[in-house]
Amino acid sequence: MDSSITASLLSNLQHPSEEVRRSAFERIKGMGPEARILSGDLLRLLIGGHDKYAWIGETLFCIGANQDCLPLVLQALKHQEGFVRFWAARTCVASGLALEGAIPALIDSLIDNEIPVMDSAVWALRQMGKPGLKALISTMKVGENGLRRRAALAISRYIDDVEIKIPPLVELLDHDDKLVRITAALAITFLKDGVTRAGKMGNYELDRAAALAWPLILEGAKLKSDAYLESWCNYFKNGSKIDL
Protein backbone atom coordinates (compact mmCIF):
# COMPACT_ATOMS: atom_id res chain seq x y z
CA MET A 1 0.00 0.00 0.00
CA ASP A 2 1.24 3.48 -0.87
CA SER A 3 2.66 5.19 2.24
CA SER A 4 0.83 8.42 1.49
CA ILE A 5 -2.49 6.56 1.40
CA THR A 6 -1.64 4.83 4.68
CA ALA A 7 -0.78 8.13 6.34
CA SER A 8 -4.00 9.70 5.07
CA LEU A 9 -6.18 6.86 6.37
CA LEU A 10 -4.52 6.89 9.79
CA SER A 11 -4.87 10.65 10.00
CA ASN A 12 -8.52 10.55 8.98
CA LEU A 13 -9.34 8.06 11.74
CA GLN A 14 -8.43 10.84 14.18
CA HIS A 15 -10.24 13.61 12.28
CA PRO A 16 -12.73 15.77 14.25
CA SER A 17 -15.40 15.07 11.62
CA GLU A 18 -17.49 11.96 12.26
CA GLU A 19 -18.09 11.62 8.52
CA VAL A 20 -14.36 11.66 7.74
CA ARG A 21 -13.59 9.10 10.47
CA ARG A 22 -16.35 6.77 9.33
CA SER A 23 -15.24 7.05 5.70
CA ALA A 24 -11.68 6.06 6.65
CA PHE A 25 -12.98 3.17 8.75
CA GLU A 26 -15.18 1.86 5.93
CA ARG A 27 -12.34 2.14 3.45
CA ILE A 28 -9.99 0.15 5.67
CA LYS A 29 -12.71 -2.39 6.41
CA GLY A 30 -13.28 -2.86 2.69
CA MET A 31 -9.64 -3.77 2.14
CA GLY A 32 -10.12 -7.13 3.85
CA PRO A 33 -7.04 -9.02 5.16
CA GLU A 34 -4.76 -6.60 3.29
CA ALA A 35 -5.70 -3.96 5.87
CA ARG A 36 -3.75 -5.82 8.57
CA ILE A 37 -0.63 -4.13 7.27
CA LEU A 38 -1.96 -1.14 9.23
CA SER A 39 -2.29 -3.04 12.53
CA GLY A 40 1.13 -2.11 13.88
CA ASP A 41 0.62 1.60 13.16
CA LEU A 42 -2.87 1.47 14.66
CA LEU A 43 -1.60 -0.20 17.83
CA ARG A 44 1.15 2.40 18.19
CA LEU A 45 -1.43 5.18 17.85
CA LEU A 46 -3.65 3.45 20.41
CA ILE A 47 -0.76 3.08 22.86
CA GLY A 48 0.19 6.71 22.26
CA GLY A 49 -3.24 7.82 23.45
CA HIS A 50 -4.38 9.12 20.07
CA ASP A 51 -7.77 7.37 20.04
CA LYS A 52 -9.81 10.38 21.11
CA TYR A 53 -12.80 9.31 19.03
CA ALA A 54 -12.46 5.51 19.55
CA TRP A 55 -12.13 4.82 15.82
CA ILE A 56 -8.63 3.40 16.04
CA GLY A 57 -9.81 0.74 18.47
CA GLU A 58 -12.88 0.03 16.35
CA THR A 59 -10.70 -0.38 13.28
CA LEU A 60 -8.33 -2.76 15.07
CA PHE A 61 -11.29 -4.80 16.25
CA CYS A 62 -12.55 -4.97 12.68
CA ILE A 63 -9.32 -6.01 10.93
CA GLY A 64 -7.42 -7.88 13.65
CA ALA A 65 -3.69 -8.07 14.18
CA ASN A 66 -1.08 -10.51 12.89
CA GLN A 67 1.21 -12.51 15.16
CA ASP A 68 4.08 -10.08 14.60
CA CYS A 69 2.00 -7.43 16.39
CA LEU A 70 1.89 -9.49 19.61
CA PRO A 71 4.55 -7.38 21.43
CA LEU A 72 2.49 -4.24 20.77
CA VAL A 73 -0.71 -5.96 21.92
CA LEU A 74 0.99 -7.06 25.14
CA GLN A 75 2.24 -3.52 25.69
CA ALA A 76 -1.28 -2.19 25.17
CA LEU A 77 -2.75 -4.73 27.61
CA LYS A 78 -0.57 -3.25 30.35
CA HIS A 79 -1.25 0.38 29.44
CA GLN A 80 -2.27 2.82 32.18
CA GLU A 81 -5.38 3.89 30.26
CA GLY A 82 -8.36 1.58 30.52
CA PHE A 83 -9.63 2.26 27.00
CA VAL A 84 -6.29 1.12 25.58
CA ARG A 85 -6.43 -2.13 27.59
CA PHE A 86 -10.06 -2.62 26.50
CA TRP A 87 -9.31 -2.44 22.77
CA ALA A 88 -6.11 -4.47 23.16
CA ALA A 89 -8.08 -7.33 24.72
CA ARG A 90 -10.61 -7.27 21.90
CA THR A 91 -7.88 -7.08 19.27
CA CYS A 92 -6.46 -10.40 20.54
CA VAL A 93 -9.27 -12.31 18.83
CA ALA A 94 -10.49 -9.79 16.26
CA SER A 95 -11.53 -10.82 12.77
CA GLY A 96 -11.18 -14.53 13.46
CA LEU A 97 -7.52 -14.30 14.47
CA ALA A 98 -6.32 -15.58 17.85
CA LEU A 99 -3.15 -14.23 19.44
CA GLU A 100 -2.70 -17.14 21.84
CA GLY A 101 0.55 -15.62 23.07
CA ALA A 102 -1.59 -12.98 24.77
CA ILE A 103 -3.45 -15.51 26.95
CA PRO A 104 -1.30 -14.97 30.11
CA ALA A 105 -1.81 -11.21 29.84
CA LEU A 106 -5.56 -11.72 29.36
CA ILE A 107 -5.61 -13.87 32.49
CA ASP A 108 -3.94 -11.02 34.38
CA SER A 109 -6.65 -8.69 33.02
CA LEU A 110 -9.29 -10.65 34.93
CA ILE A 111 -8.38 -8.61 37.98
CA ASP A 112 -8.37 -5.29 36.13
CA ASN A 113 -10.02 -2.56 38.19
CA GLU A 114 -12.13 -1.44 35.22
CA ILE A 115 -15.08 -3.72 34.48
CA PRO A 116 -15.17 -3.14 30.68
CA VAL A 117 -11.53 -4.26 30.47
CA MET A 118 -12.19 -7.33 32.59
CA ASP A 119 -15.28 -8.19 30.53
CA SER A 120 -13.28 -7.86 27.31
CA ALA A 121 -10.64 -10.22 28.68
CA VAL A 122 -13.31 -12.79 29.63
CA TRP A 123 -14.85 -12.49 26.17
CA ALA A 124 -11.48 -12.79 24.42
CA LEU A 125 -10.50 -15.87 26.43
CA ARG A 126 -13.78 -17.50 25.49
CA GLN A 127 -13.17 -16.71 21.82
CA MET A 128 -9.78 -18.43 22.13
CA GLY A 129 -11.65 -21.72 22.56
CA LYS A 130 -9.96 -24.63 24.31
CA PRO A 131 -6.61 -22.81 24.90
CA GLY A 132 -8.45 -20.00 26.70
CA LEU A 133 -10.52 -22.41 28.78
CA LYS A 134 -7.44 -24.46 29.65
CA ALA A 135 -5.69 -21.31 30.91
CA LEU A 136 -8.70 -20.35 33.05
CA ILE A 137 -8.89 -23.81 34.61
CA SER A 138 -5.14 -23.79 35.27
CA THR A 139 -5.51 -20.40 36.98
CA MET A 140 -8.29 -21.80 39.18
CA LYS A 141 -5.89 -24.52 40.33
CA VAL A 142 -2.69 -22.56 40.96
CA GLY A 143 -3.45 -18.84 40.85
CA GLU A 144 -3.57 -16.31 43.66
CA ASN A 145 -6.94 -16.46 45.42
CA GLY A 146 -8.31 -13.27 43.90
CA LEU A 147 -7.36 -14.48 40.44
CA ARG A 148 -8.83 -17.93 41.14
CA ARG A 149 -12.14 -16.32 41.96
CA ARG A 150 -12.18 -14.21 38.79
CA ALA A 151 -11.26 -17.26 36.70
CA ALA A 152 -14.11 -19.26 38.26
CA LEU A 153 -16.60 -16.49 37.49
CA ALA A 154 -15.19 -16.14 33.98
CA ILE A 155 -15.83 -19.77 33.02
CA SER A 156 -19.38 -19.50 34.37
CA ARG A 157 -20.27 -16.70 31.96
CA TYR A 158 -20.90 -19.12 29.10
CA ILE A 159 -22.55 -22.54 29.22
CA ASP A 160 -20.45 -24.27 26.57
CA ASP A 161 -18.08 -27.07 27.67
CA VAL A 162 -19.94 -27.48 30.97
CA GLU A 163 -18.63 -31.03 31.41
CA ILE A 164 -15.05 -29.68 31.41
CA LYS A 165 -15.82 -26.81 33.78
CA ILE A 166 -17.60 -28.74 36.55
CA PRO A 167 -14.70 -30.79 38.05
CA PRO A 168 -12.34 -27.86 38.78
CA LEU A 169 -15.21 -25.82 40.20
CA VAL A 170 -16.28 -28.69 42.48
CA GLU A 171 -12.67 -29.01 43.62
CA LEU A 172 -12.73 -25.36 44.72
CA LEU A 173 -15.76 -26.02 46.95
CA ASP A 174 -13.27 -27.48 49.45
CA HIS A 175 -10.73 -24.67 49.18
CA ASP A 176 -9.41 -23.31 52.48
CA ASP A 177 -10.44 -19.73 51.62
CA LYS A 178 -14.13 -19.00 52.25
CA LEU A 179 -14.45 -16.44 49.44
CA VAL A 180 -12.96 -18.91 46.95
CA ARG A 181 -15.41 -21.60 48.11
CA ILE A 182 -18.43 -19.31 47.82
CA THR A 183 -17.29 -17.95 44.46
CA ALA A 184 -16.96 -21.49 43.11
CA ALA A 185 -20.44 -22.29 44.42
CA LEU A 186 -21.80 -19.20 42.72
CA ALA A 187 -20.05 -20.09 39.45
CA ILE A 188 -21.63 -23.56 39.51
CA THR A 189 -25.02 -22.00 40.22
CA PHE A 190 -24.57 -19.54 37.34
CA LEU A 191 -23.87 -22.47 35.02
CA LYS A 192 -26.87 -24.40 36.31
CA ASP A 193 -29.08 -21.33 35.87
CA GLY A 194 -27.75 -20.70 32.36
CA VAL A 195 -28.29 -24.29 31.26
CA THR A 196 -31.83 -24.24 32.69
CA ARG A 197 -32.70 -20.95 30.97
CA ALA A 198 -31.37 -22.34 27.70
CA GLY A 199 -33.85 -25.21 27.99
CA LYS A 200 -31.15 -27.86 27.84
CA MET A 201 -31.66 -31.39 29.13
CA GLY A 202 -30.58 -32.21 32.67
CA ASN A 203 -26.91 -32.85 33.33
CA TYR A 204 -26.30 -35.24 36.23
CA GLU A 205 -22.84 -33.93 37.10
CA LEU A 206 -24.02 -30.32 36.97
CA ASP A 207 -27.08 -31.12 39.10
CA ARG A 208 -24.86 -32.90 41.62
CA ALA A 209 -22.41 -29.98 41.68
CA ALA A 210 -25.29 -27.51 42.19
CA ALA A 211 -26.52 -29.56 45.16
CA LEU A 212 -23.02 -29.51 46.69
CA ALA A 213 -22.82 -25.76 46.08
CA TRP A 214 -26.18 -24.92 47.67
CA PRO A 215 -25.03 -24.80 51.35
CA LEU A 216 -22.31 -22.35 50.30
CA ILE A 217 -24.90 -20.22 48.47
CA LEU A 218 -26.86 -20.00 51.73
CA GLU A 219 -23.67 -19.09 53.57
CA GLY A 220 -22.83 -16.46 50.96
CA ALA A 221 -26.26 -14.87 51.38
CA LYS A 222 -25.17 -13.81 54.87
CA LEU A 223 -21.73 -12.63 53.75
CA LYS A 224 -21.04 -9.01 54.65
CA SER A 225 -17.47 -8.71 53.37
CA ASP A 226 -18.28 -8.99 49.65
CA ALA A 227 -21.37 -7.22 48.32
CA TYR A 228 -21.20 -8.90 44.91
CA LEU A 229 -21.21 -12.43 46.32
CA GLU A 230 -23.80 -11.58 48.96
CA SER A 231 -26.19 -10.03 46.43
CA TRP A 232 -26.02 -12.89 43.95
CA CYS A 233 -26.26 -15.56 46.64
CA ASN A 234 -29.38 -13.84 47.94
CA TYR A 235 -30.75 -13.73 44.41
CA PHE A 236 -30.53 -17.49 44.10
CA LYS A 237 -31.62 -18.09 47.68
CA ASN A 238 -34.75 -15.97 47.36
CA GLY A 239 -35.45 -16.39 43.67
CA SER A 240 -36.06 -12.66 43.36
CA LYS A 241 -34.47 -10.08 41.09
CA ILE A 242 -31.78 -7.86 42.54
CA ASP A 243 -30.41 -4.54 41.40
CA LEU A 244 -26.66 -4.86 40.90
Q: List pLDDT tens digits, range 120-129.
A: 999 999 999 9
pLDDT band at 93 (very low <50, low <70, confident <90, very high): very high
The residue extents of the domains of the chain are 1-128, 141-244
Calculate the dihedral angle through the C-alpha atoms of 147, 218, 233, 126, rounding to the nearest 10 degrees.
40
pLDDT of residue 240 exceeding 60: no
Provide the whole-model pTM: 0.89
Rounded to 10°, the helix 55-63/18-29 angle is 10
Calculate the dihedral angle through the C-alpha atoms of 244, 120, 110, 85, rounding to the nearest 10 degrees.
-120
Q: What is the pLDDT of residue 32?
A: 84
Q: What is the pLDDT of residue 4?
A: 77
Q: What is the pLDDT of residue 202?
A: 72
Buried b (16+ CB within 10 A) or exposed e, 194-233: bbeeeeeeebeebeebbebbbebbeebbebeebeebbebb
pLDDT of residue 201 exceeding 80: no
Distance CA(51)–CA(58), nearest Å, equals: 10
Half-sphere exposure of 34 (CA within 13 A, CB side): 8
Q: List pLDDT tens digits, range 135-194.
A: 999 999 998 999 999 999 999 999 999 999 999 999 999 999 999 999 999 999 999 999
pLDDT band at 241 (very low <50, low <70, confident <90, very high): very low
Read off the amino acid at residue 54.
A
Q: Could you tell me if 40 and 69 are in contact, meaning their C-beta atoms sit under 8 angstroms apart?
A: yes
CATH number of 1-128: 1.25.10.10
